[in-house]
Amino acid sequence: MSDDKSNNPFSRFKKRSHKSSPVKSGAEHKKRFLRAQKATRRFPSFAQWAHLPRLLKSPEKILLNAASILGAISIAALLVWGYTTNLSVQPARGGSYTEGLVGSPQFINPLYSSASSVDQDIARLVYSGLMKWDPTAGLIPDLAESYTISEDETVYTFSLRSDATWHDGTAVSPRDVIFTFNALQSPEYRSPLLGSFQGVSIEQVDERTVSFILDESFAPFLSTLSVGIMPADYWGDLDPQTTRLAERNLRPIGSGPYEFSEFEKDKRGVIQSYTLMRYPKYYGGPAYIEDITFKFYPTVEAGIEAIKSKRVEGLAVVPKDRVEEVENSDIQVLNPSLPQTTALFFNIKKGLLTDTKLRKALAIATDKDVIVDEVLNGEAEVTHTPVASNYTKETTAYDNPTPFNIDQARTQLNELGWTLHEGEEIRRKGETSLELTITTVDETETVAVANNIVEQWKLAGVRANVRTIDPSVFRNEVLVDRDYEILLSGILMGSDPDLYPFWHSSQIAHPGLNLSQFGNRTADEAIESARQTSDIETRKDLYEELTVIVNEVVPAVFLYRPTYTYVTNDKINGIDLDAIVSPADRFGQINQWFIKTKKGFKR
């Protein structure tokens, strides 16, 4: 039989049979799959992908399955990561906060609240000023949307926010601003701030704009405008001379983050608690905490007992040496800085203290470091000057002019004729004993500091007695009459420290705060020039000149700049306190505090 295929009768049949056979090898399927993709150059369809397992060998199938599982795990992990990364715990509306205050509310009214820390605290939540002190940002616009200052710094023009409303829903207007400052300037209202805005006129520019015109430039003026603005419609119909008697002083209407809700009195008519509710239309963003209740105590001791027994969740101020008593796992302690200087003010026009050399000897006998470390637990900064730290230069003028040296103090007293006789503890000059009285407000911290100074001066042969005064008597009698030999007190200088009220000779008599009755023409000129320029370096030069004069006269022993000690329950979140100007400024970001939380995605 011939091998020639052309002569084989079955050769055609076999060829056809081979081409039409439905049975194909895996290799052939793969080739066809690849050829089809090469021809079309399109992504495989779902139907095509469905054939893929048939095209793979066993090891390839294992790799595919492993890759599929790994891919699924990766996608799931990516989804979980994205969810958790963008999901956060956020503040939520709700919760109540109760804080203890020492004292009793009387005037929740910007005209009068500056005379009481309790009134200031509550007024800070109810009212808004054109400007405000923010604990982290400093002095910022509040009711003012924007402002401009003229080139000669005598005209300040403010544009009011369009979204600011009173708690009764009406809009805040320039008329309200003008009414408030006219009342502050009017003797009929008898405001403690009467002298703060003399020489200032105010006028309306348009429906949203007001201008303040100053007789002369005053660099710290902007910082004075944090005083709360009052609604003219609510107060304007009252007789100015009887405004202090109005019940509206305890039922205020403001534009701040919280509005008046209620107060409770005991059988004697004394207010025991005062409650504020969040104002939902507050222009700065509604507060999260639903309501805040203040409870009032006659003494710091009673306030400390209240927070220890958990009758309150916060306490406005705690003496440095009592903090450990209230600290526990539920309490957070906050210590913002405060532009306050605590000093021993000598009444240099009274008795023995007219002698400059005696004042210097007493200053040398005072160990400031011991006061800060032992009495204040280190929560203060020693100071030697009346000038705020941000206005001092790196010069020897700010070194301690009377460094502590008990032996030198004894020597100087001997040279002045104050002799310590054998068997006696107190020096005498003839029949006169070296005995002095330190007057201070009846508060735990200042009393402790005064007693410490008594012990220090005893080592030099000086007898000092401590006279403690009720806060209201202190303000209304002691300061008014300058009824003291030595006054231990702190002075708050504001966000833009102006030394005029404390050291200018025109402020020797009440209502001025020149507590030492210090007067010097050159010093007056330096103070006047400093308050008329906003140039920081120029003010530093002028304050250095003032410091040199003060160091020579020794009208006071400047002791320390304290921090403010504020304690709250740690359920209160969102508190950020770097620096405050007055204790009430701890509420500068109150609308950002929160108790309740929720989960949500980050924006």
pLDDT in tens, 30-87: 566 556 655 555 666 666 666 666 667 777 777 877 888 888 888 888 877 776 676 6
160 — pLDDT class (breaks 50, 70, 90): very high
Spatial CB neighbours of 46, under 8 Å, sequence gap ≥ 6: none
426 — pLDDT class (breaks 50, 70, 90): very high
Regarding predicted confidence, which is higher, 27 or 364? Answer: 364
Helices (H), 443-560: 444-458, 471-473, 479-481, 500-503, 521-530, 536-553
pLDDT at 154: 95
Regarding predicted confidence, which is higher, 328 or 521? Answer: 521
Question: Does the pLDDT at position 6 exceed 60?
Answer: no
Question: Does the pLDDT at position 125 exceed 60?
Answer: yes
State the CB neighbour count (10 A cutoff) for residue 505.
15
pLDDT at 444: 83
Copy the structure tokens of residue 381: 């900064």
Q: Which of 123-132, 527-536, 539-548 has the highest mean pLDDT?
A: 123-132
Report helix angle 521-530 to 536-553, nearest 10. Answer: 160
pTM given for the model = 0.76
Question: Does the pLDDT at position 18 exceed 50?
Answer: no
Residue-range domains of the chain with CATH: 25-87 (no CATH), 96-337+564-601 (3.40.190.10), 340-562 (3.10.105.10)
Question: Does the pLDDT at position 10 exceed 70?
Answer: no
Q: Are strands 155-160 and 340-346 parallel, antiparallel or unpaired?
A: unpaired
Question: Does the pLDDT at position 11 exceed 70?
Answer: no
Q: Which residue, 481, 471, 472, 543, is CA-closest to 515? A: 481
Spatial CB neighbours of 362, under 8 Å, sequence gap ≥ 6: 344, 346, 409, 457, 462, 557
State the CB neighbour count (10 A cutoff) for residue 443.
18
Q: Work out the percent of the chain whose per-residue pLDDT is above 70.
A: 89
Q: Which of 334-338, 476-480, 596-600 has the highest mean pLDDT?
A: 334-338
State the CB neighbour count (10 A cutoff) for residue 58.
6
pLDDT at 72: 85
Question: Does the pLDDT at position 9 exceed 60?
Answer: no
Residue 328 to residue 567: CA distance in whole angstroms? 11
- Provide the mean pLDDT of the chain: 89
The answer to whether residues 369 and 509 touch, using CB atoms and an 8 Å cutoff, is no
Q: Work out the percent of the chain whose per-residue pLDDT is above 90.
A: 69
